[in-house]
Amino acid sequence: MNSPEIKLNTILKEIRTYESGPSVDGMKRLGLNYHKNFGVNLINLKKIAGQYHPNHELAKLLRTKNFRETKILSLMIDDYTVLDKNRIKDIIHIIDSQELTEQLILNILEKDKKFYPLALKFINSEKEFKITAGFVLYARIATINSDLNDDFFEHFFNRGIELSDNDNLNIRKSIARAFRQTALRNSDLKKKVLLKMAEIKNLNSKKADLVYEEVVPLIDY
């Protein structure tokens, strides 16, 4: 069996075979600026990851390379069953874009209930990507887990209102997403979300209006 180091070198070669300059330019226009980016699309990254998942040691090695693709692959390849809160702290340090935030949640945080409390912890952070990750995690949990009590989601409501006029667009969009998906769970939560949207509307803030407009028209019908 090849060592993690040999597998890493193989992966780096595979990444270069899918390199796309136009994709890099497109990502830059979307605000996705990385130290090093080969423009490999997510479909091809999933193909690469599928050959190695799950492999925690290889994921750790991938995180030592400051490339967009190695960061994403580290999240796709890691074994969430061996991760704990301390190891998640190490992973969080590489999260510096909305794209990586989504991959962290889709491949790790939404996979196990042991990570669910991180949603509340993250939204109370001062770091923008953590805040975004927290609200996106709430949105994903609302979508995929029907067993949780309503109060699990109500814990983010006040923080969502507080940050609804934040300067960061990704934060505001993630707040809207969390409220929207939560409202779709049941009629009681929908009523509570609509009340919170009224509070947001009363802020008379153009920034906060984005949250309102991305929630109410899609749930109040």
| Domain match, 168 and 66 both | no
CA separation for the pair 132, 122 (Å, rounded): 8
| Domain match, 124 and 108 both | no
| Domain match, 126 and 183 both | yes
| Domain match, 17 and 121 both | no
The pLDDT value recorded for residue 25 is 75
pLDDT: which is higher, 19 or 138: 138
Arithmetic mean of pLDDT, 105-124: 97
Q: How confident is the model at residue 85 (pLDDT cuts 50, 70, 90)?
A: confident
Where would I find the H helices in 67-186?
68-77, 85-92, 98-107, 118-123, 128-144, 150-154, 157-162, 169-183
Q: Domain residues for 220? A: 116-221
CATH number for position 189: 1.25.10.10
Q: How far is CA 146 from CA 70, 94, 172, 176, in A?
A: 33, 31, 25, 20
Q: What is the pTM of this model?
A: 0.92
| Domain match, 133 and 92 both | no
| Domain match, 168 and 218 both | yes
Of 115, 149, 165, the residue that ends a domain is: 115
CA separation for the pair 156, 134 (Å, rounded): 9
Of 115, 135, 157, the residue that ends a domain is: 115
Arithmetic mean of pLDDT, 30-51: 88
135-155 pLDDT, tens digit per residue, is 999 999 999 999 999 999 999
Arithmetic mean of pLDDT, 3-11: 92
Of 88, 115, 142, the residue that ends a domain is: 115
| Domain match, 215 and 122 both | yes
Arithmetic mean of pLDDT, 59-73: 95
| Domain match, 77 and 173 both | no
Least confident residue range of 20-24, 73-77, 137-141, 145-149 = 20-24
The pLDDT value recorded for residue 30 is 67
Arithmetic mean of pLDDT, 61-75: 95
Arithmetic mean of pLDDT, 111-135: 96
Average pLDDT taken over every residue of the chain: 94
| Domain match, 111 and 121 both | no
| Domain match, 89 and 137 both | no
| Domain match, 3 and 110 both | yes
Arithmetic mean of pLDDT, 162-182: 98
HSE-CB of 50 using CA atoms within 13 angstroms? 6
| Domain match, 163 and 181 both | yes
Task: Answer yes or no: are the C-beta atoms of 172 and 164 closer than 8 Å.
Answer: yes
CA separation for the pair 90, 68 (Å, rounded): 17
User: How many domains, the chain?
Assistant: 2
Q: How confident is the model at residue 76 (pLDDT cuts 50, 70, 90)?
A: very high
Q: How confident is the model at residue 114 (pLDDT cuts 50, 70, 90)?
A: very high
Q: How confident is the model at residue 1 (pLDDT cuts 50, 70, 90)?
A: low
Residue 107 has pLDDT above 80, yes or no: yes
